[in-house]
Amino acid sequence: MPFKNEERIFPRDYENRIFCEDCLTFMKGIPDGSVPLILTDPPYGIHYSNQFAKNPHTMLPGDDGIDYPAFARESYRILRMNSHAYFFTRFDCYPYHFQCLQEAGFTIKNCLVIEKGTLGGIGDLKGSYASSAEWVIFCQKGRRVFNSTTLLENRNKEGTMFHKGRQPSKRYKTRFSDCWFGSEYPKATHHSMWQKKNGIFHPTVKNEVCLQWLIQISSNPGDLVFDGFMGTGSTALAAIQSGRKFTGTEISEEYWKIAQDRIRKARKEMVSDEE
């Protein structure tokens, strides 16, 4: 059964758990400025349901709209100073989400556009372009610079001199573009064949490798990553695989249970990899 308890102590009772409850109520228990990274994928408020797929998706809880201004304010409040926050969105929700996040206090740095990995088809299938990208609003509170990572190698050999008197080139990229398209970047979502193979059905399940990249760029090992809309637990998985802790909520018991299973399996795999 989902864990429910009003008397929680932060961070002890929050770390490495997903709670099956409402995100906004849950966030009230998190102290100001205590979360080093927010990486979240809220429902977009687009009334999406798909009856055409083999496993039809019903409308997600919250897809008739969450209280986004309140969510943005709470996110700003709980985020630690000099930290990053990522909010998945859609092109048509972007103006509203941007405005809410800005009014909450965030500095909005970029909108990342990431290849989905599968062509999305909703709405006017014959008269609109198939959606092939996910959008992510990248914000900061204060200022945080990116971690150097070993995610992506430069095309030129390490030590190449491009300009006289400048530092020679490094092996790994330190500056990423805001569009992640092509074979060197992870895709943002898992395609339907992956869902079928893994028995995980959710209309918007994200690829945890893509989330791992964001986590590694924007947090340190051992940091706590918050996602109030965990769905099948992809952010939690990405946190585990990156050596970070996670906390958050998922209101649907069906998806919450899938997330618990995935976390259990991920932990088992990590233990057997270490042995």
Ligand X SMILES: C[S@@+](CC[C@H](N)C(=O)[O-])C[C@H]1O[C@@H](n2cnc3c(N)ncnc32)[C@H](O)[C@@H]1O
Of 187, 206, 244, 262, which one interacts with ligand X (CB under 6 A)? 206
Helices marked H in the chain — which ranges?
23-27, 68-78, 94-104, 192-198, 208-218, 234-241, 253-274
Quick one: 242 or 249, whose CB is closer to ligand X? 249
| Total residues in contact with ligand X, by rule CB under 6 A | 22
- Give pairs for 186-191: CB < 8 Å, separation 24+: 186/210, 186/212, 186/213, 187/114, 187/115, 187/116, 187/117, 187/118, 188/114, 188/115, 188/116, 188/117, 188/133, 188/134, 188/136, 189/116, 189/117, 189/118, 189/134, 190/117, 191/117, 191/118
Quick one: 98 or 229, whose CB is closer to ligand X? 229
Contact map string, positions 75 to 114, toward ligand X, x by CB under 6 A: ----------------------------------------
Is residue 61 involved in binding ligand X (CB under 6 A)? Answer: yes
Is residue 249 involved in binding ligand X (CB under 6 A)? Answer: yes
Quick one: 104 or 188, whose CB is closer to ligand X? 188
> What is the DSSP annotation of 26-55?
HHTTSPTT-EEEEEE----SS---BSSSSS
Is residue 13 involved in binding ligand X (CB under 6 A)? Answer: no
Considering only the stretches 105-113, 165-173, 216-224, 231-239, report the one whose residues sit in contact with ligand X under the rule CB under 6 A: 231-239
Q: How far apart are the first and last CA of the chain?
A: 31
Q: Are 21 and 207 in contact (CB under 8 A)?
A: no
Is residue 74 involved in binding ligand X (CB under 6 A)? Answer: no
Of 62, 69, 105, 117, which one interacts with ligand X (CB under 6 A)? 62
C-alpha to C-alpha distance for 233 and 246, rounded to whole angstroms: 10
Is residue 234 involved in binding ligand X (CB under 6 A)? Answer: yes
Quick one: 62 or 173, whose CB is closer to ligand X? 62
Quick one: 43 or 186, whose CB is closer to ligand X? 43
Is residue 23 involved in binding ligand X (CB under 6 A)? Answer: yes
Is residue 45 involved in binding ligand X (CB under 6 A)? Answer: no
Give Cα 47 to chain centroid, integer Å: 21
Is residue 27 involved in binding ligand X (CB under 6 A)? Answer: no
CB of 31 to ligand X, least distance (A): 20
Is residue 251 involved in binding ligand X (CB under 6 A)? Answer: yes
Q: Who's near 135: CB < 8 A, 6+ residues apart?
A: 88, 89, 90, 91, 94, 111, 112, 113, 114
Question: Which residues of this chain interact with ligand X, rule CB under 6 A?
Answer: 22-23, 41, 43, 60-62, 66, 202, 204-206, 228-229, 231-232, 234, 249-252, 255
